Structure 1
Amino acid sequence: MAADPGPDEALRLSGITKRFGAFTANDRIDLGIAWGEVHALLGENGAGKTTLMRIVTGLYQPDEGTMSLDGTPVAFRRPEQALRAGIGMVHQHFTLVPTLTELENLAMAPAAVPWRNGRAAARRRAAEVEASTGLRIDPDRLVADASVGERQRLEIVKLLCRGARLLIFDEPSASLSPGEWDELAKLMRRLAGEGHAVVLISHKLSEVFSVADRWTVLRGGAVAGTGDIAGTTPEHLVELMVGESVAPRRERTPASPGAPTLVIRDLSVDRLAEVDLTVHAGEIVGVAGVAGSGQAELVEAVLGIRPAAAGSVELSGQRLERRTPQAFYAAGGALIPEDRHHVAVVGGMTLGENINLRALRQAPLARRGRINLGAARLRARRLMTEYEVRATGENQPMARLSGGNQQKAVLARELSTEPSLVIAVQPVRGLDVRATEFVYRRLTEHRNRGGAVLLISMDLDEVIALSDRIAVLAHGRVRGVLDAAEATRSRIGALMTSSEVRP
């Protein structure tokens, strides 16, 4: 165990307890955060990490326990009170207004001292943050038009513009490229070196060990352990998080590619230009590239959401003349979207309704134009068991499931239709180590059964570990396609920065 932060203590939580009905999310938690340190807060999905930090930032109020900042007792009833006290949080699920510009989002956030002439002040502070950190925003762009990574960057800039001294990052690298994470890690270390306190919530232990000074693990809503990073190992932290050791992922068998499943020829749309890409049955093709290289345009063009200026798309031997989502699914496509909460699930519907969405028009669920409720219940329960979805039952609201269980339900819905192609976009974003291994295993099993997988990910390690071939996308073009055996971080990085298209 590590010693308490001591006289440089920034935040002290004592006996913090939070209940939601009969469920205890936080159970008598004691935690100290020091000025000048990066403190990693670890645990599985549903362990209580985000709930605890929402108490710190005034989104929730504890049922029991006390909190002090710089030795002074505090109790925040609203997030703006915490921010004015110098505590800010970059949430995993963003707190932005999509219909406003990035500058307007900055101008409307509460400040320790209210700004006069909000837009001008916000523009000036954003320029100062860019000069000191390199984090740049597009002031006049609507948030709705920004990518997930760009929205997350805006959240960080918004927090820094408001002068937060204690900064909480909830899965901050989930949408960042490796290079962007490296810059963010440097920023965290620089902030800590300047006397700020940084709390990092992350499931990626490689990131934790690269940037954190101390750690605390939550399991089942309680503190399972705390200590110095220098005195522990990744294996020890995983055991504390899950209560047992997690076996490393087994080596995958070599791919046995079959006939082409997805064929993209000369596709041009917005920032994409003349993209050629083929995914065969029985293989996983990863697309590597920094955020904003055209990944979203590629997926949306294949789905038929975004019209293409030129080119063709074939799926399962069928040319999609009139590209629409309906045609994509009818031809054997399936999608695991990047934005789980807003695109992949319907939070206001039950788990059972979400898990059955793709099968409502098929027997045995569809009978004479009506839904067979008994068959729907049985199917939902079967898929919940098969995909290890932890819930009180099929009638539990989808919004109340943890992120890992929501993603398992999405996998169940999409893979249970036995699609010929699965497009998986950032499929483990924000998931803990156990849920991540589950998703990887299911995608690999789909490939082993002869299915095709197009994997879009900002995580190079993930792309290299899962893919049989890797297409490198940069500046709207495919710069090269590498076999798994020859794909290294350095070779992929070289293609990312290349201006030449290689066969």
Structure 2
Amino acid sequence: MTTRPDSGPALRGTGNGASALRLTGVTKRFGSFVANDAVDLDIAWGEIHALLGENGAGKTTLMRIVTGLYTPDEGDIELDGEPVRFRKPEHALRAGIGMVHQHFTLVPTLTELENLAIAPAAVPWRNGLTEARHRAQEVAAATGLRISPDRLVADASVGERQRLEIVKLLCRGARILIFDEPSAALSPGEWDELANLMRRLAAAGHAVILISHKLSEVFSVADRYTVLRRGAVSGSGTIAEATPDHLVTLMVGDRVADRPPLPAGTPGPAVLTVRGLDVARDDNQPAGPKALQGIDLEVRRGEILGIAGVAGSGQSELVEVLMGIRPALSGAIEMAGRPFTRRSPREFFQAGGAVIPEDRHHAAIVPGMTLWENITLRSLRSAPLNRQGVLDVRAASAEARRLMDEFDVRADSENLPIGRLSGGNQQKAVLARELSGNPDLLIAAQPVRGLDVRAADFVYRSLVAHRERGGAVLLISMDLDEVISMSDRIAVLAHGRIQGVVDAAKATRASLGALMTSSGEAL
């Protein structure tokens, strides 16, 4: 294993265009399953390299090898032309390789400075907080990335937490930075800031690896690309010579059909009605600002109502209060014309509600349970899967296989732990579970976050099909293109208030962006 001294923040990489990281014939197996099959990958100093592929194509496994979480069964890895083999993540970080994960690795109850101080280092800092402050100042001077040292991470926005993750890596000397779906929770403006930062880092000589399913982002920022399909490299080259259709074909083997425009609908009566809803913030200070204030909403049968807004505008609180997880200070909620007063998750589901949670890993699945248990979780208490209080495992397994087929959930067996499936197949399993009961109201929060183009298209079409059957969908997303293309109407949420409700057919990114950043009273 090759490491280098922790001499301070990696403010400049090599920047000479030479090879920074080279993988040759890297293979990783899990039993009979080949996750990576003789992968060759060459990352140069001073470039932004996009790593593309469907969910389950092997990207995550490959990066786990690079960052020391896994060791390859075959193949070689070179860093700066020298052979390396990392057996722990700290070995990779000490060698200058850091990863900004899609799910952040921060401690919410600590301050930003404390999070910097507790990160691993090749040589332990004698005075952690003092050294962390000094190195953060160095990073800020070199990159413009500034943190709020005394702010609790729990009080920071998603974009601010991501910035802290990057500063943490730079403070610890990372020269090769891997970004895993970095825009998944960012507003368009925050993505633009991150893209500019990536360019600055590459211009300063760092090597940047970008894992993204959004081809618009790849074409806006990347220099070169490598595509994985079924664990093997299906193509590589320069972005300047590529087209979106070419990259999609490399990823999935054929061209994904264009998604048709949302057909005109005829909305029916209201399924969800919200009037004058006020919700306290987590600090529960009655005199302070509220998480939600004066919310009026109506979602009708045969309609998709989109909620647009930057992260932290009250989306999570809205979902929680509708589900009965969070209490309301005031206001009224009706489900299918009936007062929804004794709110709890069980009452929400019994009233005809269903939800695709924003956080798939912590709120939508139980990773250690099997696929069949997860996909039938809503119906395990009732016939025909449950007979007089006794679970019929054979019937539940058969129902799971039926749903797997209907919703294209790809797995060798329904008995596999769902945590071993790709993100796309996990999300399709959640979709199958929530839609199998034909709910009156489906709340879909960030339903295609982190999904590849094929899986995202399947989710889109499933939501539209539910709408066509007369179901109501409350779609919450920070992707403006997604909200515009998938909604009948769009409500813009900013600072806990509805700033306006517009016809999606007349909405533009500019008009929604203006409402999203509004600081005034609701329109």
Q: TM-score range by the shorter chain?
A: over 0.9
* 1:188 CA drift (Å): 0.3
Q: Which amino acid aligns with 2:235?
A: G
Distance 2:403 2:481 in 1: 30
Q: Secondary structure of 1:93's partner? A: coil
Preserved CA contact (<8 Å) 1:40 1:200: yes
Q: Which amino acid aligns with 2:192?
A: D
Q: 1:390 to 1:196 in 2, by over 3 A?
A: same
Q: Secondary structure of 1:338's partner? A: coil
The reply to whether residue 339 of structure 1 matches residue 349 of structure 2 is no
Q: Which amino acid aligns with 1:105?
A: N
The aligned residue for residue 378 of structure 1 is: 398
Q: Over residues 210-253 of structure 1, what are the superposed CA-to-partner deviations in whole Å (9 max), with x where a residue is unaligned? A: 00000000111111111000001000000000011111101221
* 1:6 CA drift (Å): 9.2
The reply to whether residue 233 of structure 1 matches residue 253 of structure 2 is no
Equivalent residue runs for 1:133-152 within 5 Å: 133=143, 135=145, 137=147, 139=149, 151-152=161-162
Q: Which amino acid aligns with 2:118?
A: M
Q: 1:359 to 1:140 in 2, by over 3 A?
A: farther
Preserved CA contact (<8 Å) 1:86 1:112: no
Q: Which amino acid aligns with 1:29?
A: V
The aligned residue for residue 9 of structure 2 is: none
Distance 1:499 1:218 in 2: 44
Preserved CA contact (<8 Å) 2:497 2:522: no
Q: Which amino acid aligns with 1:82?
A: A
The reply to whether residue 187 of structure 1 matches residue 197 of structure 2 is yes
Distance 2:138 2:346 in 1: 47
Preserved CA contact (<8 Å) 2:16 2:45: no
Q: Which amino acid aligns with 1:179?
A: G
Q: Which amino acid aligns with 2:364?
A: A
Distance 1:293 1:126 in 2: 28
* 1:94 CA drift (Å): 3.2
The reply to whether residue 254 of structure 1 matches residue 274 of structure 2 is no
Preserved CA contact (<8 Å) 2:307 2:492: yes
Q: How many residues align?
A: 499
- 2:481 pairs with one of 443, 456, 461: 461
- 2:166 pairs with one of 140, 156, 165: 156
Q: Which moved more, 1:291-300 or 1:151-160?
A: 151-160
Preserved CA contact (<8 Å) 2:158 2:312: no
The aligned residue for residue 5 of structure 2 is: none
- Alignment TM-score, normalising by the size of structure 2: 0.91
Q: Which amino acid aligns with 1:431?
A: L
Q: 1:142 to 1:415 in 2, by over 3 A?
A: farther
Preserved CA contact (<8 Å) 1:421 1:451: yes
The aligned residue for residue 98 of structure 2 is: 88
Equivalent residue runs for 1:286-325 within 5 Å: 286-325=306-345
* 1:122 CA drift (Å): 2.5
- 1:108 pairs with one of 90, 96, 118: 118
The reply to whether residue 174 of structure 1 matches residue 184 of structure 2 is yes
Preserved CA contact (<8 Å) 1:288 1:472: yes
Q: Which amino acid aligns with 1:493?
A: G
The aligned residue for residue 418 of structure 1 is: 438
- 2:89 pairs with one of 69, 79, 83: 79
Q: Which amino acid aligns with 1:215?
A: Y
Q: Which amino acid aligns with 1:418?
A: N
Q: Secondary structure of 1:439's partner? A: helix
Q: 1:493 to 1:75 in 2, by over 3 A?
A: same
- 1:13 pairs with one of 16, 23, 28: 23
Distance 1:286 1:73 in 2: 51
Preserved CA contact (<8 Å) 1:152 1:175: no
Q: 1:371 to 1:140 in 2, by over 3 A?
A: farther
The aligned residue for residue 403 of structure 1 is: 423
* 1:278 CA drift (Å): 1.0
Q: 1:433 to 1:449 in 2, by over 3 A?
A: same
Distance 1:395 1:49 in 2: 24
Q: Which amino acid aligns with 1:487?
A: A
* 1:29 CA drift (Å): 1.1
Equivalent residue runs for 1:417-456 within 5 Å: 417-456=437-476
Q: Which amino acid aligns with 1:200?
A: L
Q: 1:283 to 1:388 in 2, by over 3 A?
A: same
Preserved CA contact (<8 Å) 1:173 1:181: yes
Preserved CA contact (<8 Å) 1:479 1:499: no
Q: Secondary structure of 1:423's partner? A: strand
Distance 1:132 1:457 in 2: 34
Q: Which amino acid aligns with 2:187?
A: S
Q: Which amino acid aligns with 2:80?
A: D
Q: Which amino acid aligns with 2:398?
A: L
Q: Which amino acid aligns with 1:465?
A: S
Distance 1:444 1:146 in 2: 34
Q: 1:459 to 1:7 in 2, by over 3 A?
A: closer
Distance 1:106 1:462 in 2: 35
Distance 2:46 2:221 in 1: 12
Q: 1:211 to 1:84 in 2, by over 3 A?
A: same
Q: 1:354 to 1:182 in 2, by over 3 A?
A: same
- 2:275 pairs with one of 265, 268, 289: 265
Q: Which amino acid aligns with 1:358?
A: R
Distance 2:415 2:191 in 1: 39
The reply to whether residue 222 of structure 1 matches residue 242 of structure 2 is no
The aligned residue for residue 480 of structure 1 is: 500
The aligned residue for residue 204 of structure 1 is: 214
Preserved CA contact (<8 Å) 2:36 2:61: yes
Distance 2:87 2:442 in 1: 44
Q: 1:99 to 1:23 in 2, by over 3 A?
A: farther
Q: 1:146 to 1:405 in 2, by over 3 A?
A: farther
Distance 2:44 2:456 in 1: 31
* 1:277 CA drift (Å): 1.1
Gaps of 5+ in 1: none
Q: Which amino acid aligns with 1:122?
A: A
Q: Which amino acid aligns with 2:294?
A: E
Q: Which moved more, 1:9-18 or 1:229-238?
A: 9-18
* 1:319 CA drift (Å): 1.4
Distance 1:325 1:140 in 2: 36
Distance 1:262 1:145 in 2: 31
The aligned residue for residue 492 of structure 1 is: 512
* 1:488 CA drift (Å): 0.4
* 1:475 CA drift (Å): 1.1
The aligned residue for residue 491 of structure 2 is: 471
- Alignment TM-score, normalising by the size of structure 1: 0.95
Q: Which amino acid aligns with 1:287?
A: I
Q: Which moved more, 1:96-105 or 1:274-283?
A: 96-105
Distance 1:139 1:334 in 2: 40
* 1:256 CA drift (Å): 1.2
Distance 2:505 2:206 in 1: 43
Equivalent residue runs for 1:12-51 within 5 Å: 12-51=22-61
Gaps of 5+ in 2: 1-14, 282-290
Distance 1:284 1:52 in 2: 38
